[in-house]
């Protein structure tokens, strides 16, 4: 992975009246990375993207994006970045091809290159067969792929993707994930993803920053963050199916735990502190629960996220 920074922020802050949306953000993102900004709605993710693109002016602090100052060089910077908003904002009365052709003109793509570029992107995003159909007839997944294709018309170096799979079905999510991975690994683009989808971040991102009230509360690779929270355990319990209700009643006595019934006889228990595991097993056995297997599971990025937000 290349080591030069494509995004650098220093105490970047944005206030809206008495509300601080982004609070002294210090962040460095490197060329070729897929970097995830994680957080619930209102945590400052979208505001951060707007600051980094020069759409919003910071209340305090500074940023450098692709070596440029977003505050003073916003229009020039946006010629080198692509932005996918949570709502695609496509023109549904036009075809997919017409949408891309219109935006190619707006992005300043030379006319003699625009047609070729539009066709290439439609094929790349598996939309060639429906290119001349109205966008109003596209599925949500197709519209999202078209919106992602639109961000690449002017061949940007850096992509900002805001909730790129929001509202999509599992098949469409997988397609978008494959496209994002291809753009990074095969084409070398730097990508900043804002998401509240923890499994998405764990699957796609080289590094993540978890935001809470506009502040970074954790930063690192998904694997490294999970290792830092090894004291928060997950267990898979395999028990007799008839003992489900008894087991769940016992586990409910530990209010900090969360449980998930995976299938008959299998329960995932999350949020266990390491030193409480023996007492949990003892309590279950004393209640008559037939335990066939106890398997510790590695902490996930979701465990880290929820531990930080307790």
Residue-wise over 229-252: b if at least 16 C-beta within 10 A, else e? Answer: beebbbbebebeeebbebbeebbe
Say which residue, 111 or 66, is predicted with more confidence. 66
**pLDDT tens across 204-258, in order?**
999 999 998 899 999 999 888 877 766 557 788 999 999 989 999 998 888 778 8
The tens digit of pLDDT for each residue in 263-284 reads 888 998 887 777 788 888 999 9
Domain boundary among 201, 222, 243: 222
CATH number of 158's domain = 3.40.50.300
The answer on 296 and 206 residing in a single domain is no
Whole-prediction pTM value? 0.77
Give residue 160's pLDDT. 97
pLDDT band at 64 (very low <50, low <70, confident <90, very high): very high
Tens-place pLDDT, residues 163-188 = 999 888 888 899 899 999 999 998 88
Q: Is the CB of residue 121 less than 8 Å from the CB of residue 177?
A: no
pLDDT of residue 129: 96
- Is the same domain home to 89 and 189? yes
Q: Given a cut of 80, is residue 1 above it in pLDDT?
A: no
Total number of domains in the chain:
2
Last residue of a domain, one of 188, 204, 222: 222
**Which structural domain range is residue 246 located in?**
227-308
Q: Which domain CATH number covers 271?
A: 3.30.70.120
Q: Is the pLDDT of residue 49 over 90?
A: yes
Tens digit of each residue's pLDDT (9 = 90 or more) over 78-127? 999 999 988 888 999 999 999 999 999 999 999 889 999 999 999 999 99
- Pair (92, 214) in one structural domain: yes
Nearest by Cα to 56 from 89, 15, 28, 26? 15
**Residue 57 shares a structural domain with residue 186:** yes
Q: Which of 164, 198, 222 is the last residue of a domain?
A: 222
């Amino acid at each position: 992975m290349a080591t030069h920074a494509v995004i650098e922020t220093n105490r970047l802050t944005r206030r809206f009246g008495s509300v601080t949306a982004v609070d002294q953000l210090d962040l460095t993102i490197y060329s070729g990375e897929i970097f995830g900004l994680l957080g619930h709605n209102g945590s400052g993710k979208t505001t951060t993207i707007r600051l980094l693109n020069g759409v919003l002016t910071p209340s305090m602090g500074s940023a450098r994006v692709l070596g440029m100052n977003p505050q003073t060089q916003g229009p020039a910077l946006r010629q080198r970045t692509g932005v996918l908003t949570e709502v695609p904002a496509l023109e549904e009365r036009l075809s997919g091809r017409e949408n891309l052709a219109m935006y190619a003109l707006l992005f300043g793509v030379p006319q003699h290159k625009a047609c070729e570029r539009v066709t290439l992107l439609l094929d790349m995003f598996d939309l060639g067969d429906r290119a001349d159909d109205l966008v109003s007839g596209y599925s949500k997944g197709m519209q999202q792929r078209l919106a992602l294709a639109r961000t690449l018309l002017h061949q940007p170096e850096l992509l900002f993707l805001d909730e790129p799979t929001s509202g999509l079905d599992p098949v469409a999510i997988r397609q978008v994930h494959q496209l994002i991975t291809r753009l990074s690994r095969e084409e070398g683009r730097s990508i900043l993803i804002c998401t509240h989808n923890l499994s998405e971040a764990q699957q796609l991102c080289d590094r993540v920053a978890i935001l809470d009230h506009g502040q970074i509360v954790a930063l690192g690779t998904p694997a490294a963050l999970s290792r830092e929270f090894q004291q928060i355990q997950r267990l898979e319990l395999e028990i007799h199916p008839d003992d489900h209700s008894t087991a769940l009643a016992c586990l409910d006595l530990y209010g900090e735990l969360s449980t998930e019934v995976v299938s008959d006889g299998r329960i995932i228990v999350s949020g266990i502190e390491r030193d409480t595991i023996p007492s949990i097993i003892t309590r279950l056995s004393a209640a008559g629960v037939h335990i066939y297997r106890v398997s510790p599971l590695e902490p996930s990025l979701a465990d880290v996220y929820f531990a930080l937000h307790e």
